[in-house]
Amino acid sequence: MSRNVAGRTRSALLAATLLLAAGSAQAQDWQAEWAAALAQSKGQDLNLTVHSYEAHEAVAREFQKKFPDIKVNVTAATPSSTAPRIVTEQKNGIYNVDSWWASTSNMNNIVLPADGFEKITDYLILPEVKDPSKWQRPDMLYTSDRGPYIMVHSYYYEAIGFVNSNVVKGYKLENADQLLDPRLIGKIVIEDPRRPNGGSNGMAALLKLKGPDFISALFTKMQPTFMSITRQVTDTVSRGDAVLAFGGNPETMYQCWNAGGCKDISRMKQFNYVLARGVAVLKNAPHKAATKVWVNWLLSKEGQESYVQNWAKTNQSGAVSLRADVAPDPKHLDSVPDYSRLDQFVSVATDSGAPVMEEVYRLLAKAQGR
């Protein structure tokens, strides 16, 4: 063997040895950090606020079983009620929530501008969570360019509301123009679109599809009723007091269908938007070790499989994970978005959808003379 060849061989072997050593050191680093988080979390509380869906609470229960040494305290509430509460508490120096898991509109549009979160990247430990190749769109993992505060684990197509076909004889919704049918005047309910929720999300989808004049006509000529309580929106269309409901609780309606009721009610699937579900760590989280264990487990393959399975049990759509190694529920394939064409839909829970949402608020204020 020539001296040059031998030198190159030794150099290659040295480089390989250094790479292996570096990889081993990195493995030891994360393993040590994970072991420390597990040890420090024993006996800690974990104060979670989750979206008021049974699936979210079920996943939290599975986490509790997986990590019995952590005491999990769950508050289930709508994001539109959680966001102002968190902002108010933090303004008054109260920091008692560790993590918030929900659809991300209120997180991104209300709490993030109020500096209410810590960077979630400071809490991520597991390589399978931090590795971009594990996620289908690593460039879409966070809701905002303002920083890695809210991590998205699911994007999916969501319908904007419900139709009760039994209220107006012969009415059948097939296109957006039929939303302005004179027979529907006074028979439309919209979840208060002055803040992020199903009602404003639906209006944003229609605004992108039909333009501002259409939304103005819907707000004025159709004389809709605006309601601030999600369950009230669902109940109104269920009772037949409205033909159309923009917003409402899909899980509640799904339970009604499974029980054999609500046969005249269907999802308004013609005008979808893209919804994001994600998790964030609240500013000054009081139980940091337990929070690390929680967010890493939720975003792991095991945690995301738990989410997909539990979500599919109680919802008609949305059992989809952004993880490349977690398959969507077979019955929810229509919810899986075409990630290459997301710009054709309103992504209501991220920065990209914010201008459309702001236009909805402006049009409503104009319609109400404010």
Q: What is the CATH number of the domain that holds 201?
A: 3.40.190.10
For residue 230, count other CB atoms closer than 10 A to its CB: 22
**Does residue 71 fall inside a structural domain?**
yes
Instruction: Kindly report, residue by residue over 51-95, the tens digit of the pLDDT.
Output: 999 999 999 999 999 999 999 999 999 998 999 999 999 999 999
The answer on 362 and 252 residing in a single domain is yes
SS3 133: helix
User: Distance of alpha carbon 96 from its chain centroid, rounded?
Assistant: 22
**Does residue 105 fall inside a structural domain?**
yes
The answer on 251 and 103 residing in a single domain is no
Distance (Å, rounded) from C-alpha 111 to C-alpha 16?
47
Question: Which tops the pLDDT comparison, 221 or 272?
Answer: 221
Paired with 273 in beta bridges are: 158
Distance (Å, rounded) from C-alpha 43 to C-alpha 60?
17
The answer on 361 and 232 residing in a single domain is yes
The answer on 97 and 52 residing in a single domain is yes
Up-side HSE of residue 255: CA atoms within 13 Å toward CB? 9
**Contact in structure between 280 and 120 (CB atoms under 8 Å):** yes
The answer on 190 and 284 residing in a single domain is no
The answer on 153 and 196 residing in a single domain is no
**Does residue 17 fall inside a structural domain?**
no
**Does residue 361 fall inside a structural domain?**
yes
The answer on 241 and 361 residing in a single domain is yes
Q: What percent of the chain has a predicted confidence (pLDDT) above 90? A: 72
Q: How many independent structural domains does the chain possess?
A: 2
The answer on 267 and 284 residing in a single domain is no
Which of 125, 104, 83, 154 has the alpha carbon at shortest distance from 291? 125
Structure tokens at 207: 């605004």
**Does residue 73 fall inside a structural domain?**
yes
Q: Which 8-state DSSP code applies to residue 323?
A: B
The answer on 81 and 54 residing in a single domain is yes
The answer on 290 and 239 residing in a single domain is no
Is 4 a residue whose pLDDT tops 50? no
- pLDDT, residue 294, reads 98
Is 370 a residue whose pLDDT tops 90? no
Q: What mean pLDDT is reported for the chain?
A: 90
The answer on 319 and 179 residing in a single domain is no
**Does residue 35 fall inside a structural domain?**
no
Report, as an integer, the average pLDDT of 113-128: 98
Which parts of 277-341 fold into alpha helices (H)? 288-299, 301-314
- Phi/psi for 276 (5° steps) reads -115, 140
The answer on 363 and 246 residing in a single domain is yes
- pLDDT, residue 27, reads 62
* Parent domain of 249: 160-271+356-367
Q: Extract long-range pairs of 224-231: CB within 8 Å, 24+ residues apart.
A: 224/188, 224/189, 224/190, 225/186, 225/188, 225/189, 225/190, 226/189, 226/190, 226/191, 226/192, 226/193, 226/199, 227/189, 227/190, 227/191, 227/192, 228/191, 228/192, 230/78, 230/80, 230/191, 230/197, 230/198
Question: Which tops the pLDDT comparison, 259 or 305?
Answer: 305
